[in-house]
Amino acid sequence: MQVAGWQFDLLTWEIHALREKIGADMTHPARALLPTIATEQVLDYLAQARQIVDLENQINKIYSENNNHATAASASLQQTLDQLRQRQNSVRPTVEQIIQNQIARELIKNNLQLYGMPLPPVQFTFVEPPKKLIVSPRDHIETFYGEMVQAEMPLAAIEQTERAIRQQKNLSAYITNIGGLGAFPTMVVDRAGLDWILSTVAHEWTHNYLAFFPLGLSYFSSPDMTTINETVAEIVGNEVGQTALQTFYPTLATPIKSTITNDSAEASQVAVEQPPAFDFDTEMRKTRLMVDQILAAGKVDEAERYMEERRLLFVQHGYPLRVLNQAYFAFNGSYGTSPASTSPIGPKLFLLRHLTPDLKTFLITVRGITQPNDLDAALAHWNRPKREN
């Protein structure tokens, strides 16, 4: 009820996106491009995406300084912004197809293919995905309820919703942006670094792949199964995204962290300029562990005061966290690779990937998991001495 009028209509979006993808597959705009031209077109598109963000920020600043009234300067910037968006939309299908082909080639290299193509095919679209509402109890961290809401939901409505859920239901609520969504085609934002985009395209493909197997079908059966699904997708996405970056954009290829979550991905762009003394992952991990201890002692108010103190500390060091509460940890903690997680599932899956000889074997091993004990059994199998295997 609190988000009435802001629910995201996935079916309508799917129909529109599939129609657009079918048209692009029929014309195949990326087919005639030389590899060097294709990579340049991707980089140009992403540079323009950053220009769009910069223009939007300038316009918002002018409005905020002029009582939300337009000025000659904002009108000029808006005209430039409209032209840039039009140009982006004209080349977007081509750029999407280039990246789809690049990720598909890396999947084929890993033998994740049938008759020479990945199954399901790699299909994504650059779009601002819906936001997600997460609700957690206040006395412990757990996803009690979740729902997708429209990307256009304004900040004022977001904060009002979070407050209302807290006041009326005594629950912790958090509405956040997400970097992608495993629909078909999958949704990915274009306002991020190329390494993150490549990894996210592969991450969301992994969700589509797992949807045909017990692991993916068990996604919502328990919080642990959600964490297993998300962590597997993180591991595969990061590995495939990194190799794609090395293959097609070698001059940009640098080691990337295994942890890519929405807040840490956004914060990393800010943190580059910060002194190394304050590490986001270390401090967030420390925060989560302390919150768990305080909540376990039944001191809910004290835990919430501590989280607000820590949020202000993150802001002070250049990480613009709007919210840091139980629902924040419930959402980000579902990624076993995240510093906001205290689940042992992430380390277990990393160990399993280390023990398995290749990505295909890893996916075949995990795709049949239907309960956390299955992960322990898989680890026990692969951890046996070679003479026993």
10-residue averages of pLDDT along the chain (389 residues): 81 82 75 84 91 80 68 83 85 91 95 88 85 93 88 82 93 86 81 90 94 94 90 95 94 59 48 63 91 95 94 87 90 71 84 95 96 94 69
Q: What is the pLDDT at residue 273?
A: 47
> Residue 116's Cα: distance from chain center in Å?
28
What is the phi/psi pair of residue 334, to 5°? -75, -10
Q: What is the pLDDT at residue 320?
A: 80
Distance CA 275, CA 279 (A): 9
Q: What is the pLDDT at residue 360?
A: 95
Q: What is the pLDDT at residue 206?
A: 96
Q: What is the pLDDT at residue 339?
A: 66
CA distances from 102 to 92, 99, 203, 242, 304 (A): 15, 5, 14, 12, 45
Q: What is the pLDDT at residue 64?
A: 60
Q: What is the pLDDT at residue 295?
A: 95
Angle of helix 359-366 versus helix 345-355 axis, rounded to 10: 130
Q: What is the pLDDT at residue 67?
A: 64
Amino acid at 22: I
Tokens of 301: 């108010």
Alpha helices in 110-249 (DSSP H): 155-169, 194-210, 214-217, 223-248
The two beta strands, 131-137 and 145-149, are antiparallel
Q: What is the pLDDT at residue 271?
A: 42
Q: What is the pLDDT at residue 187?
A: 83
Q: What is the pLDDT at residue 179?
A: 72
